[in-house]
Chains A and B, each alone.
Chain A
Amino acid sequence: MEEMRLQGGGTAAAAPIIEFRGVSKTYPTGTHALEDVNIRITGGEFVFIVGSSGAGKSTFMKLIMREEKANTGIIRVNGFNLTTMPRKEVPMLRRTMGIVFQDFRLIPTMNVFQNVAFAMHVVGASDRDVRREVSRALSKVGLGNKARSMPAQLSGGEQQRVGLARALVNSPDLIIADEPTGNVDPNMSYEIVSLLTEINKRGTTVLMVTHDHNLVRDFQHRVIMLERGKIVADNAGGSFQ
């Protein structure tokens, strides 16, 4: 299984797609969400982030997408130095990543096609590219025949697959998903993670937060465990579990 990760694109020597060095995050409320976190994630890896509630998993993801800024330390993502990057470059950083939400975040007044197309239109894609890429992304997640359905007509698993198609449609190098299976029943969860694994095999780095130990056990990927804002375990070398 460790070999499969390496097949995914990265080698230990490759420049990391995500690098945290001595990163701490304290919210204005005084909560120390992350303390002295050091991480290297190589391009092509699939990483589960686990840990109990309040451990700092979401904060870790928010730092990667630069929704929050670290108080100390250095963060590099996809070649961007998030510590020194001005606010107006944040959109460019985000275009290199696809984000999957726990609550799907589909626009209820738009059909499946429009929801996925929205992510392309708002970054300035042409109509022709939108038509081609949206169809491609929908067939990747197995929803080619549901393009005209409204979100409310879909199951939770299907809705999350639309969310996945939307994250994929701009061809990101990195997908980050904070508990994407949190609102999906167990069978569908397996389907979602299978899809993510497939996407990862084609070279996209995947970072996924989850509570589901069964998923972690069954999909043998790298696992980083956070507790009280600190990394307590990391099977980067294949030695975890």
Chain B
Amino acid sequence: MKFSSMRYLAGEGVKNAWVNRLMTIASVGVLVACMVIIGLAILISENVNKAVGNLEQQNVVMAYMKDYNWALYGGGSDADTSSGTDSSASDASQDTASDSEEAEAGTSAESSEGSESTESTTDDTDKADENGIKPSDYVIHNDDEAKALCDEIAKIDNVAAVEYITSEEGLESVKESMIEGQESYFTFLDDEYGNPMSGAAKITMTDMSKFDETIDKIMELDGVDTIQSQSDLADKIAAIKRGVGIAGFWIIAILMVISLVIVSNTIRVTMYNRKLEISIMKAVGATDSFVRIPFVVEGMLIGLVSALIAEGLLYFCYRVATETIIATLGTTDIVYYSDVAWWLLLVFIGIGIFAGVLGSVIMISKYLRREGSEFAAI
């Protein structure tokens, strides 16, 4: 197609939009509203994702190791490996030789401390110590082995970071997390009976939605006893992300359809206003694509103008909203408009052109298919 024809037809499209300006303004208004709502949906979901991302960072998983303290206090039973279990809990099944009274049940964890190892094997290299614990009773014998286990964990997919927490550090953080004043009740933990905490790997995951499979892989490693985490938080985070994603999808889909209907309706009105021109174009032998161009240009123009206005309006609205949020909540941990301005503009232009081109092509094709009355000299 020649440039002069293209320019002429594009000019006709601009003229259409102007002659039809009330309708044009109305549809630009509706399109802008749709785009602003779509933009808000995107910004809200971005902010939710950011906040959730922060939560994910805080959601660490503790993998307790089968070390000496585990053998001593935990009891080497692999029966209980479910996540969320307190590692210090134990059924103390293996060594209650001295007494097995029911009365002791309430303090079984402590009772196991004083137990004797009477049925241990007598291997020269595997001697029981004064607590009756042999090296073969546990897996992680020293810090080096613990760090090696941490390295193994770090190799698993979806594990972002691993930090080795010694039993002393573990006890400190347990104490820190206790409500003020309650600390004194738990002094027996280290003063009277010694530190019962096992060493642990502090694990951060990349993607919480793969939580369960990652936990399964960690559990497979030799030397890992139990895993303590807030798996419900992981579920909640995944649910929030899913919810925001689904809501966003439907909002955008519905508003896209509305945009399309609005633009095609405007084009339809233009088309009926331009019946005469169309009939002449067809009578003198204009091809369908030539007939279509002015309408497509008009639709695109409506879409583009709407995109620019929506971008400006959303910038203004979002700035006011975020300034209020920053002033009242004091948080600055939000998505800034400048971070998303360009791709929001692209999204708006995309929607505008999609609605403008498709809306006009649908309408004009429908019109052209019913071959109009070029010659109705009845």
Q: Which A residues fall within an 8 A CB radius of B?
A: 58, 61-62, 65, 67, 88, 90-95, 98-99, 101-103, 105, 107, 109, 118-119, 121-127, 166, 170, 178-179, 182, 209
Stretch among B136-144, B199-207, B284-292, B331-339 lining the A interface: B284-292
**Contact yes or no, B281 A122, CB < 8 A:** yes
**Contact yes or no, B8 A99, CB < 8 A:** no
By beta carbon, the residue of chain A nearest B7 is A127
Residues facing A in B320-378 (CB within 8 A) are 371, 373-375, 377-378
Q: Does B279 belong to the interface (CB within 8 Å)?
A: yes
CA distance A103 to B373 in the complex (A): 13
The residues of B that contact A102 with a CB separation of less than 8 Å are 377
The residues of B that contact A118 with a CB separation of less than 8 Å are 277, 280-281
Q: Which B residues fall within an 8 A CB radius of A?
A: 1-2, 4-5, 8-9, 19, 276-277, 279-288, 290-291, 371, 373-375, 377-378
**Contact yes or no, B375 A124, CB < 8 A:** no
The residues of B that contact A182 with a CB separation of less than 8 Å are 377
The residues of A that contact B285 with a CB separation of less than 8 Å are 90-95, 123, 170
**Contact yes or no, B378 A94, CB < 8 A:** no
The residues of A that contact B288 with a CB separation of less than 8 Å are 88, 91
The residues of A that contact B378 with a CB separation of less than 8 Å are 58
CA distance A95 to B284 in the complex (A): 6
Interface contact tally, CB-CB below 8 A: 81
The residues of B that contact A125 with a CB separation of less than 8 Å are 4-5
5 closest Cβ pairs, A-B complex: A94-B285, A95-B285, A102-B377, A122-B286, A178-B377
Known: A124-B1, A126-B4. Is A62-B375 also a contact (CB below 8 A)?
yes
Give 22 A-B contacts (CB < 8 Å), ordered by A residue: A58-B375, A58-B377, A61-B375, A65-B374, A91-B288, A99-B283, A99-B284, A102-B377, A103-B377, A107-B277, A121-B8, A121-B9, A122-B280, A122-B291, A123-B284, A123-B285, A123-B286, A124-B290, A125-B4, A166-B280, A166-B284, A179-B377
**Contact yes or no, A65 B375, CB < 8 A:** yes
CA distance A5 to B374 in the complex (A): 29
The residues of A that contact B373 with a CB separation of less than 8 Å are 67
The residues of A that contact B277 with a CB separation of less than 8 Å are 107, 118
CA distance A67 to B279 in the complex (A): 11
Of the residues B2, B4, B9, B282, contact of A94 by C-beta under 8 Å: B282
CA distance A11 to B284 in the complex (A): 28
**Contact yes or no, B284 A119, CB < 8 A:** yes
Query: In the complex, given contacts A101-B377, A105-B276, what are 9 additional A-B residue pairs having Cβ atoms less than 8 angstroms apart?
Result: A90-B285, A91-B287, A92-B285, A94-B283, A99-B283, A107-B276, A109-B19, A119-B280, A121-B9
By beta carbon, the residue of chain B nearest A130 is B4
By beta carbon, the residue of chain A nearest B1 is A124
Known: A94-B284, A95-B284, A105-B276. Is A122-B375 also a contact (CB below 8 A)?
no
CA distance A119 to B5 in the complex (A): 12
Closest Cβ of chain A to B171, distance in Å, is: 84
The residues of B that contact A88 with a CB separation of less than 8 Å are 287-288
The residues of B that contact A91 with a CB separation of less than 8 Å are 282, 285-288
By beta carbon, the residue of chain B nearest A109 is B19
CA distance A83 to B171 in the complex (A): 95
